[in-house]
Amino acid sequence: MKNIYGVLVLCINFVYSQRTPIISHITQKSIKDIGGTTELKCTVLYAADFSVLWVKVDKERFTEPVTFSSGSSLIIRDSRLSLTQDTDSNSYTLQINDIQETDAGFYRCEVMLGLTNKITADTELVVRRRPFISDNSTRSLIVNEGQSVKLECYAGGYPSPIISWRRANNAILANGVSIYRGNILEIPVITKEDRGTYYCVAENGVGKGARRNIALEVEFAPVIMVPKRRLGQALQYDIDLECHVEAYPPPAIIWLNNGVQLSNNQHYRISHFATTDEITDTTIRIITIENRQYGDYICKASNVLGTAEVIVTVYVNGWKQFQKYRHHNCIYKHLCLLNKEH
């Protein structure tokens, strides 16, 4: 009877030893903050005679697998890592302290049955990451007035960031709001008023949000404004004619009188002052004005998209000065018609 019992025990032990190992438990997906701690536990049955490994794997196969441990021994020497083997529960626990962004990924528990034969189970460590703007987002854009425009912004991080759009100085967006949420900001018909800096902001509640400044330049034909279209001045006094020009690209600006382009000399002083890339203020000073300098002056601005011009009229200021001006001009017969009309 004893012999039969001994044989039975031997048979049971033989069958038990021949059973294929199985992974009965592995830690579920864990989400941790940077600087935190995680424990990855793998419980294996019937694996006393087999090697059990913890391996970090890249499922997209951009990088090679990294083996952290084999059996009860760490292979990677890192003070942040520790390994515990519990023989009672047949478990292997990999602990990671002071978690970093680079620790995120998939971790695989492997039982090596042979050189090419193994059983595996995977778990994922997700590390909460502050947002970052992706490289495929818009950086800057130059368009013509009237075109449709799309500004795109994409971001990574965990949890997935929320994207919002704003303009510098909280200016109103083209859709009539100050804040728009979404990856793509569309402007169906852009105007020069839409030019400027746009902010793409990505937020997910982890740390400070990410922001990208996007410069949107709108090319448009010149637009000219003048403070006064008619100015009076007495003889022998200076007078300034002003012109406010908006255009992009920056325009060429000239002043004309009687079809002749004016330049700096003893009679005129011309200056241009660009306050921004799109705005230029130009002034022409008529120095000690003479009779022949009364009349119409043209402020003209041109760029690749068009040309604009405005007439500014300079007239004699004061009745006595006007009489003197008329009398002087009647020396020329073709101007004496002015006297006949009066």
Query: Helix or strand or coil: residue 11?
Result: helix
| Nearest-angstrom CA–CA distance, 103 and 36 | 11
Checking if the pLDDT of 111 tops 80, the result is yes
CATH 2.60.40.10 segments of the chain: 22-128, 134-220, 226-320
**Confidence at residue 317, expressed as pLDDT on a 0 to 100 scale:** 87
22-128 has CATH 3.40.50.300 classification:
no
* pLDDT-based confidence at residue 52 (cuts at 50, 70, 90): very high
226-320 has CATH 3.20.170.30 classification:
no
* pLDDT-based confidence at residue 207 (cuts at 50, 70, 90): confident
**Confidence at residue 63, expressed as pLDDT on a 0 to 100 scale:** 86
Checking if the pLDDT of 75 tops 90, the result is yes
**Confidence at residue 243, expressed as pLDDT on a 0 to 100 scale:** 97
CATH top-level class of 134-220: mainly beta
State mean pLDDT over 252-259.
97
State mean pLDDT over 258-286.
96
**Confidence at residue 329, expressed as pLDDT on a 0 to 100 scale:** 52
Checking if the pLDDT of 233 tops 80, the result is yes
**Confidence at residue 236, expressed as pLDDT on a 0 to 100 scale:** 94
Q: Which residue has the higher pLDDT, 2 or 93?
A: 93
* pLDDT-based confidence at residue 323 (cuts at 50, 70, 90): low
Over the chain, what is the mean pLDDT? 89
| Nearest-angstrom CA–CA distance, 141 and 324 | 58
Checking if the pLDDT of 79 tops 90, the result is yes
**Dihedral of alpha carbons 286, 289, 290, 295, sign:** positive
State mean pLDDT over 31-38.
94
Strands (E), 226-294: 230-233, 239-248, 252-257, 260-261, 268-274, 279-286
pLDDT digits (tens, 9 = 90+) for 180-198: 999 999 999 999 999 999 9
Q: Which residue has the higher pLDDT, 165 or 11?
A: 165
| Nearest-angstrom CA–CA distance, 55 and 111 | 11
Q: What is the DSSP string of 304-331?
A: TTEEEEEEEEEEE-SHHHHHHHHHHHTT
Tokens 């120095």 identify what position?
287
Checking if the pLDDT of 275 tops 50, the result is yes
**Confidence at residue 18, expressed as pLDDT on a 0 to 100 scale:** 64
